[in-house]
Amino acid sequence: MSYYFTILSPTDVPLFNIAFGTSKSGGDGIARFRFPDTAQYMNQFIIHSSLDMVEEAQWMNGNMYLKHIDTYPPASAYISAFLTPSGARFLLLHQPPHAAGPNANAGGGGGGGGIGGSSSILGGSFAAGSSAARASASSIAANPTSPQTEEAVRQFMAEVYENYVKTVMNPFYRQGMEIRSAVFRSRVTAAGRKWL
């Protein structure tokens, strides 16, 4: 599993983001997304597009943890959301590992001209065999929609929330400011290691 975690302000401004991989079952905690490294914007696109779902769920469901709310099937990216009462959104994109692993870069390498560093939008996802990805998604324990995953994500979110509240309580922090504290980052990393 690879994770991309973002905190967005109520006005969709990113306050914090971090990418990390699983530390469970021998994972080394490094994110390996299916997009080539040059296409990290894909995570942001997917997260951004899931705000459509968040906005809808926000007013239908009063829970803070909204669970798994969106999926981006071409890359089997799953989005879970957590809403703080003051309207910040915690969004976690999780993606099961690519069965084909390193060849995720193959699709993006030779893309057509012009766009610097953005050669592939779909290369990593569509080109490489997706059937293999589906197989792995259903077989391993890290199935993104299983109750265990939901629970783990909930724990993770709760722990981040605690640290977020501490950040917000800081009188030098104003709502809508980017969170730059290295301690906060390390806390989120630790929470990720602990639960995901």
Partner 1 sequence: MAQPPPRHATMLSLSNSNSNSNSHSNLSSTTTISTPQTQTHLPTPSQSSTGLRVPSNRKTIYDRHLNRSRNAELSRASFAFLFGEMVTYAQRRVTGIQDLERRLNEQGYPLGLRLLDLLFYRTVTGSSSSSALSSSSSTSASPPNRPLRILPLLHLIHGPLWRLLFTRPADALEHSVSPDTPNEYMITDNDPLVNTYISVPKEMSMLNCAAFVAGIIEGVCDGCGFEAKVTAHNQPTEMWPSRTIFLLRFGESVMEREKVLERAGVK
Partner 2 sequence: MTSPGDAAPVKPPPSFSPGVPRGASKTRYPNQRRDSSPSLDADLAESRVASPTPPLSATTSELPIRSASPRTPSFRSSTPQLARSSLGSPVDGRFEGSEEIRSLIIRSFSPVVGVYASADTDELVRQKGFAGGFWQLIRPFGETIPGKLVIRDSVGASRSWEDYGVRFVDLGNNNQSPPESSGGRSSPLAHAEEVLEKQLGSLDDPLGGSLYPKDFLGLPSTSPLYKLYLRQLLSIASATPHETFRHPVACVIAISSRNTAPLETLRRLYADTNNGDKRVPDWIHPEYLRYYVLVHDEDRDDITDSTKLYDQMKRHFGLHCHLLRLRSNQCVVTDDDSVQVPECEWLSPSERLYGRTEPLVDLDTGGLPHVFESDVMAIKAFVRELVAQSVVPYMENRVAVWNDQVASRRRGISGRFMSMSRRWAGFGSGSRSSLTSGGASGNYDTAHGYYKSDAPEAVLRKMADFAFMLRDWKLSASTYELLRSDYANDKAWKYHAGAYEMSAVSMLLSPSSMGTKVKIDAIDQMLETASYSYLTRCSDAPNTLRCLTLAMELLKSRGGSAVESAAKWAMRVMDQGLAGSIGQGLFSERISACYAARNAVPGMKWGSRRRKAGMWSVFAADLWLRLGKPSLASAALEEAERLYADVLQGDGAFSMPEMQTFIDNLRHAVKVEYLEARGLDTRDETATAAALGTEETSEQLDRRKNRKSLVVNPLDSGLSPTQGMRDNDNAADDDFERA
Residues forming the site for partner 2 (CB under 8 A): 8-14, 40-41, 44-52, 55-56, 58-59, 73-74, 86-87, 111-118, 121-122, 125-126, 130, 172, 174-178, 180
**Continuous H helices in 63-146:** 104-109, 130-139
Which 41-60 positions form the footprint of partner 1 (CB under 8 A)?
A: 58-60
Does 26 engage in binding with partner 1 (CB under 8 A)? Answer: no
Per CB under 8 A, the list member of 159, 177, 178, 196 interacting with partner 1 is 159
Does 62 engage in binding with partner 1 (CB under 8 A)? Answer: yes
CB-based burial label for 94 (10 Å; 0-12, 13-18, 19+)? buried
114, 36 Cβ separation under 8 angstroms: no
- Taking the complex as a whole, the smallest distance from the CB of residue 127 to partner 1 amounts, in Å, to 33
Hey, what's the torsion of the CAs at 79, 109, 129, 132, to 10 degrees? Answer: -60
Q: Which of 165, 166, 168, 187 is nearest to 177 (CA)?
A: 168
User: What residue ranges bind partner 1 (CB under 8 A)?
Assistant: 10, 58-60, 62-65, 83-87, 155, 158-159, 161-172, 174-175, 180-187, 189-190, 194
